[in-house]
Structure 1
Amino acid sequence: MAHTAHWVPLNVKHHGGLMWQRFTAYHFAQHITQASLAEGELRHAAASFPIGFTQTASGWQAVALLGLRDEQNLIVDSQGRWRAAYVPAALRSHPFGLHAEYPEKLCIDQHSPFVVARLDAEPFFNQHGELASFPQQVLAFLQQREAGCQRVAQQLDALANAKLLTPWQPEGYQGSAPLYQIDEPAWKALSAEQMGLFWQLGAVPLVYAQLISQRQLGVLRSLLQRPTTSPPEANASRPLSEWQEAFSSEERYQWPDPS
């Protein structure tokens, strides 16, 4: 059942009696239309989803479009199976996350069904009241991802200041969040010197990931026509524990091994 994430920092006083479970399906993401992307996962995402840019109160971000209207995720079927080759890192880490007000603390989605008060799950804390080993690794994973998101924000800010972003209304898109794309004619008109500055900033891969990813709009539109209860595809039949390691070739975005 869909729910709204409510991030709270882990605290042994309030959460010492709770544990967490690894999810086995993506029902929790059925209402998530956009997933923010970090720098290191752009090329993986571009092969699976359209990438757009959004501007929020906290700055620019690159997002994977998972649906064409609010509260819609076409990538998750009715049985919670993920219907794409890549899962954004922001979703792989559920029920853990970060909150802007607590950048040094590991947070949990307090509304997640995978935060439980049972003894057969995995602990948040060790016997000393400190984060257990695996949650410590998750915190490092999320902080590395956040650093990648900040680099994307800086690159998009520079592109926006150079008037290289333009509003984007993909065919069939009915979401309430305004989208932006690379202004391709303006990008191609840059001088070699100007292009060199964006190379130095690391923004060129971001530009081409967004342009190339627009081909994936057809995938979303085709999923609108596909039954959500269709038999699982080849990659959807793998155990989820295998997926979480296989979905990224970048070590920094691999889900930590609990062993």
Structure 2
Amino acid sequence: MANAAHWVPLNVKHHGGLMWQRFTAYHFAQHITQASLAATELRHAAACFPIGFNQTTQGWQAVALLGLRDSQNLMVDSQGRWRAAYVPAVLRSHPFGLSADTPETLCIDQHSPFVVSRLDAEPFFNQHGELASFPQHVLAFLQQRETGCQRVAQQLEALANANLLTPWLPEGYQGSAPLYQIDEPAWKALSTEQMGLFWQLDAVPLVYAQLISQQQLGVLRSLFQRPTTPPLAESPSRPLSEWQEAFSNEERYQWPDPS
């Protein structure tokens, strides 16, 4: 899971001498099989990955299925290039994240190779011991994303309470994490009044994103059978120079793909 990182709250006392480096490839994500999704990501993700649901100790979440086995990410090729047209936000914001225990504090993945002590990287803090400008933007972006994830969790809770979620074992899936899907016959059997309640909750886009996304299983199976297939989407080699701009609006999820 993408949220299984070792998040540590940034603290100037402990991390003032460290810096962070922007990544140009996705090697760090090679063993991430599922990536959690916020509400505004669903329409983008559904065009690229199967979307499933699972239940954690923090509640329900929607996840992009990136592989068919544990610790497998078929969307990353051997050179670290991303094979799909969309990258989940939780991966694009690496090595930053939030902890459920301290959602108001920016965290870093302490095991990330992009947390460094070199002086040619970017600082976490400014000369006053406060978060530097870009990490401040990262924190705001991640808090927006967390709000979107909580919205999805509330919608899934309502769907589960209405018996509209059912266990899902996609063809070829061998992962250990149980998945759930929309019970399509039960969904279609809802009355107009019942359907209206889910429109009010804004859960209908989530339902159809999951149902439509299932056709992307064929892409995963194809990549699993032919792991050396060239990337599905490539771009000219360049650093992530537009990263900061992309943080400014939660709706702008189409960040440049490193290659």
Change (3 A) 1:219 1:246: farther
Change (3 A) 1:224 1:242: farther
C-alpha distance in 2, partners of 1:86/1:243? Answer: 15
Same amino acid, percent of matched pairs: 81
Query: Equivalences for 1:42-57 in 2 at 5 Å?
Result: 42-57=42-57
Aligned twin of 1:166:
166
Change (3 A) 1:221 1:243: farther
Deviations 1:103-131 (A, max 9, x none): 10000000000000011000000000000
Aligned twin of 1:186:
186
Residue 251 of structure 1 deviates from its aligned partner by 2.7
Deviations 1:8-36 (A, max 9, x none): 00000000000000001000000000000
Residue 63 of structure 1 deviates from its aligned partner by 0.1
Aligned twin of 1:252:
250
Change (3 A) 1:116 1:53: same
- Does residue 87 of structure 1 match 2:77? no
Residue 244 of structure 1 deviates from its aligned partner by 5.2
Give 5+ residue unaligned stretches, structure 2.
none
C-alpha distance in 2, partners of 1:242/1:251? Answer: 16
C-alpha distance in 2, partners of 1:50/1:131? Answer: 37
**Counterpart of 2:63 in 1: which secondary structure?**
strand
Count the aligned residue pairs.
251
Kept in 2: contact 1:70–1:175 (CA 8 A): yes
Aligned twin of 1:149:
149
Residue 204 of structure 1 deviates from its aligned partner by 0.1
Aligned twin of 1:241:
240
Change (3 A) 1:95 1:254: farther
Residue 247 of structure 1 deviates from its aligned partner by 8.8
C-alpha distance in 2, partners of 1:137/1:181? Answer: 34
Residue 153 of structure 1 deviates from its aligned partner by 0.1
C-alpha distance in 2, partners of 1:154/1:139? Answer: 23
Change (3 A) 1:163 1:247: farther
Aligned twin of 2:77:
77
TM-score (norm 1): 0.92
Kept in 2: contact 1:89–1:253 (CA 8 A): no
C-alpha distance in 2, partners of 1:53/1:198? Answer: 17
Letter in 2 for 1:63: V
Kept in 1: contact 2:51–2:64 (CA 8 A): yes
Moved more, 143-152 or 217-226: 217-226
C-alpha distance in 2, partners of 1:200/1:39? Answer: 15
Change (3 A) 1:125 1:90: same
Kept in 1: contact 2:76–2:82 (CA 8 A): yes
Give 5+ residue unaligned stretches, structure 1.
none
Deviations 1:144-200 (A, max 9, x none): 000000000000000000000000000000000000000000000001110000000
TM-score (norm 2): 0.92
**Counterpart of 1:163 in 2: which secondary structure?**
coil
Residue 242 of structure 1 deviates from its aligned partner by 6.5
Letter in 2 for 1:222: S
C-alpha distance in 1, partners of 2:49/2:191? Answer: 30
